[in-house]
Structure 1
Amino acid sequence: MESAEDRIFTLPNLLSFLRLLGVPVFLWLVLGPQADGWAILLLIAAGISDWLDGKLARAWNQTSRLGRLIDPLADRLYIFATLVGLVLREVIPWWLALLVVGRDVFLLFTVPILRRHGYGPALPVHFLGKAATACLMYAFPLLFLASHQGWYAEITGIFGWAFAIWGTGLYWWAGVLYVVQVRQLIRG
């Protein structure tokens, strides 16, 4: 009999899979036809589905190993794809993208350490990491909007950069806390 943790076919997992499928579509919209309106709508839908899949998984007791793996994977891929699109379109400087991606590269070094000590590839995400991801997911559509010539460009630019700076800072802070968590686990 399949345990609740081993379930694959749940609504939260379906939402995460759909988010994963949206990543290449998003990149195509940004880099191909430069259909920014559709790209922003897809990014907003991804953000909403990210919130919704976690909410449903907890409310309906449908948390699973697969969900804990693909949900943050979808988040990271959206962040990476958006950074690529924003850099190639010259909306943000390359150093900001490197700063955000550098945190994930930094944390990759914890995976073999965790596995060597019998833990899964990742520890549970804590609130600070979720807050950082939320800030970045708010920042990206706002920065896309700010790159256009419209009455909204200045205000979306201010808010977009505020969320980007806070999100990047929180993203790194969450990464440092994650490393501390790994260290405490290994010592214990």
Structure 2
Amino acid sequence: MAAQGIAEAVQAYTGLSPAAAVTILALMLATYLLVSSLFVAPDAAPPKPPPQRKEEEQQQQQQEEAGAFVPYPDPVQVGEITLEQLAAYDGKDPAKPILIAIRGQVYDVTRGRLFYGPQGPYSLFAGRDATRALALMSFDPIDLTGDLDGLGPDELEVLQDWEDKFKERYPTVGHLASENAADGNHGGAA
């Protein structure tokens, strides 16, 4: 009697037969279990590496000691930098950090290599002063300047939002040289 009431309620609520509803529920549960198994619990121990021969172990240790691979090197302070010097940090040389200037401040965006590196969607900004371009949300190379002349309150608010995001995500490693950063107007594209 109760089973029949449940079956009628399932059909009325879902519009499906009880067998179809149970099948869908089972598939949803199986999908959930499959997807959740892809994630490791935070307190689970990492898998042990396969045993290595002594020689391979020594080579690996030497490479680690020599600093052979560091995914995100510590930011290097560049101090005062000119637009010409900044251009060398455009991501084309993997040994150098990727730098972007906004309102005279220079940010190390190397961690965002997928975005700012040579093949990234924002590679145009790498090694440049992106102040005006960010304020205008522009990908036009002519806007790659620190010139704020003619920008309205809305554009300046957009620029402030971008600047806040950069300050939050990326370390400040220097500032543009004073001849390029007077009063926040660094005039001219690099």
What TM-score results when the alignment is normalised by the length of structure 2? 0.26
Q: Which has the higher helix share?
A: 1
Q: Which has the higher strand share?
A: 2
What TM-score results when the alignment is normalised by the length of structure 1? 0.26
